[in-house]
């Protein structure tokens, strides 16, 4: 059977681009199909920990000087900003983990990855609307474009994945009960903000915020989260709605937040949205005969460990290696090995993300105990950061 492409990647986000690089470095022909006409993520930052940064380095993308390296992780109290607990990151972390913890603009990272994928492999403005698995290949259907037939397909098309429907049926992400909003704010908008280049987690009753410096530290990326008494009606039909900083400010003022954080919220520029935070339930399977899922499409976590992108990068690195090693006929074995090596870890990251979200927003008597326990955070989450997405030994198979 004629194939237009060998490996078709649906989605040109952080996971899809990393998978393309991983395969291209191993001389596997790929085509990335991305629905947007321009690769850009406006107005938000991303944290990449050592587990992601070391894999990107191995693929030739060095993050060390591309973003901000937070010197410390600081847990603070919501109403007065008092320090509850502080842990080193910076060079201490890099020396122990063998790769840095970097906070940066998502757009910067996406550009760095896209620069490594030659244009002829990247097809923008290609929205996949469906897939048909045929005996020798997979037919991809697009909105307003001719079909493409691929030998295998990987769906890295995010939490609302179209490819997932084909592989695992209708599985929808589940709301955690939290609403979040984010923004990028110039650091001088809030002169009282302590140590803006550090990674901050401020804990309040039914509310928490995470902020860090991005790029050269002149901008702050803020993620603020609250738990309303009941989820608003819009969450039943969509996962985000337009919002204003005045609405956000009212919620955080009412909860008694410190002025330094309220200043950040007041100064969020541009379009703002309230997101119903969601995670993906466990899927029955991650692949069908010739189609596999990776990244958020397979196991989207809540954002509270800052690991969604990291897990997508790990998936992409592992799957890229396995597909290349397996050669053109060995994709089933590659998919099975991939799923076996990734399922448990990504489940555990989802669990830890969920728990972290709850811990940051405790009320009443549980608070002093939680504060005491924040001393153990580096020890407790070390397994996430020191992980090496090792791949099995080479089978010696070659592509073309
Ligand atoms: C508020 C918030 C904060 C976060 N902060 C962090 C953080 O600090 N660190 C971190 O590691 N993670 C963070 N994450 C999670 C992270 O954004 C995701 O986990 C990560 O981007 C997943 O990558 P992905 O490539 O799987 O999916 P995505 O980044 O969602 O990419 C999917 C791509 O597929 C494309 N696509 C979708 N459907 C189609 C289709 N039908 N046809 C063609 N293309 C399609 C989309 O346009 C998109 O480009 C955060 C998430 C949220 C909501």
pLDDT of residue 398: 46
Residue 271 — very low, low, confident or very high, per pLDDT cuts 50/70/90? confident
* pLDDT value at 127 more than 50: yes
Q: Which residue has the tokens 């039914």?
A: 206
Express each pLDDT in 91-114 by its tens digit: 999 999 999 999 999 989 999 999
Tokens found for residue 279:
């995670």
Task: Provide the pLDDT for residue 2.
Answer: 73
Domain that holds residue 22: 5-173+280-386
The number of CA neighbours under 13 Å toward the Cβ of 339 is 17
Phi then psi dihedrals of residue 211, to 5 deg: -140, 155
pLDDT at 285: 97
Catalytic residues: 212
Residue 307 pLDDT > 80, yes or no?
yes
pLDDT at 390: 54
pLDDT by residue (tens digit) across 17-71? 999 999 999 999 999 999 998 877 665 899 999 999 999 999 999 999 999 999 9
Distance CA 349, CA 303 (A): 10
Instruction: Read off the CATH number of the domain in which 20 is found.
Output: 3.50.50.60
Query: 186 in a domain, yes or no?
Result: no
CA distances from 304 to 99, 115, 268, 308, 349 (A): 21, 29, 21, 9, 10
In a domain, 151, yes or no: yes
Residue 51 lies in a domain: yes
User: Quick one: pLDDT at residue 1?
Assistant: 62
Residue 14 CA, ligand 1 centroid: distance in Å: 7
pLDDT above 50: residue 204: yes
| CA dihedral (88, 92, 98, 101) positive or negative | positive
Q: Is 137 in the pocket of ligand 1 (CB under 6 A)?
A: no
In a domain, 211, yes or no: no
Determine the pLDDT at residue 6. 95
Q: Decide: 155 in ligand 1 pocket, CB within 6 A.
A: no
**Contact at 8 Å (CB) between 206 and 249?**
no
Ligand 1: nearest atom to the Cα of 307:
11
Q: Whose CA is nearest to atom 39 of ligand 1?
A: 157
Task: Say how many domains are in the chain.
Answer: 1
Residue 196 forms part of a structural domain: no
| DSSP 8-state code for residue 30 | E
Atom of ligand 1 nearest to the CA of 33: 43
pLDDT above 90 as % of the chain: 90
Whole-number Å distance, alpha carbon 118 to ligand 1 midpoint, is 21
Q: Is 67 in the pocket of ligand 1 (CB under 6 A)?
A: no
* Structural domain contains residue 19: yes
Whether 156 lines ligand 1, by a CB cut-off of 6 Å, is yes
Residue with tokens 């790990």: 314
Query: Does some domain include residue 131?
Result: yes
Q: DSSP letter for 392, please.
A: P
* Residue 378 in domain: yes
Query: How many C-beta atoms lie closer than 10 Å to residue 375's C-beta?
Result: 12
């Amino acid at each position: 059977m004629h194939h237009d492409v060998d490996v078709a990647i649906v989605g040109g986000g952080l996971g899809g681009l990393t998978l393309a690089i991983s395969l291209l470095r191993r001389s596997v022909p790929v085509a990335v199909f991305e629905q947007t006409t321009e690769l850009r993520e406006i107005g938000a930052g991303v944290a990449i920990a050592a587990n992601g940064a070391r894999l990107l380095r191995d693929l030739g993308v060095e993050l060390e000087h591309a973003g901000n390296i937070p010197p410390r992780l600081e847990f603070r109290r919501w109403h007065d900003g008092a320090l509850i607990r502080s842990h080193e990151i910076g060079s201490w972390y890099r020396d122990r983990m063998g790769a840095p913890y970097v906070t940066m603009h998502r757009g910067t990272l996406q550009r760095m990855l896209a620069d490594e994928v030659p244009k002829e492999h990247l097809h923008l403005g290609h929205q996949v609307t469906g897939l048909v698995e045929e005996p020798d290949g997979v037919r991809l259907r697009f909105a307003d474009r001719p079909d493409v037939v691929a030998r295998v397909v990987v769906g890295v098309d995010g939490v609302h994945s179209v490819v997932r429907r084909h592989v695992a049926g209708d599985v929808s992400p589940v709301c955690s009960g939290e609403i979040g909003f984010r923004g990028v704010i110039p650091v001088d908008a809030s002169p009282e903000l302590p140590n803006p280049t550090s990674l901050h987690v401020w804990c309040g009753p039914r509310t928490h915020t995470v902020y860090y410096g991005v790029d050269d530290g002149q901008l702050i990326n803020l993620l603020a989260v609250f738990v309303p008494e009941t989820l608003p009606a819009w969450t039943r039909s969509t996962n985000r709605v337009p919002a204003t900083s005045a609405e956000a400010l009212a919620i955080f003022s009412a909860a008694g937040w410190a002025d330094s954080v309220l200043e950040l919220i007041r100064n969020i520029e541009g379009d703002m949205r309230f997101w119903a935070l969601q995670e993906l339930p466990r899927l029955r399977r991650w692949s069908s005969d010739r189609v596999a899922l990776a990244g958020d499409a397979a196991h989207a976590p809540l954002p509270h460990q800052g690991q969604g992108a990291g897990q997508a990068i790990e998936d992409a690195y592992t799957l890229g290696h396995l597909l290349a090693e397996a050669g053109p006929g060995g994709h089933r074995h590659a998919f099975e090995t991939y799923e076996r090596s990734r399922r448990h870890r990504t489940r555990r990251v989802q669990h830890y993300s969920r728990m972290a979200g709850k811990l940051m927003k405790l009320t009443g008597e549980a608070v002093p105990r939680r504060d005491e326990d924040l001393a153990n955070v580096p020890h407790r989450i070390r397994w996430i950061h020191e992980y090496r997405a090792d791949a099995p030994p080479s089978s010696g198979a070659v592509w073309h």
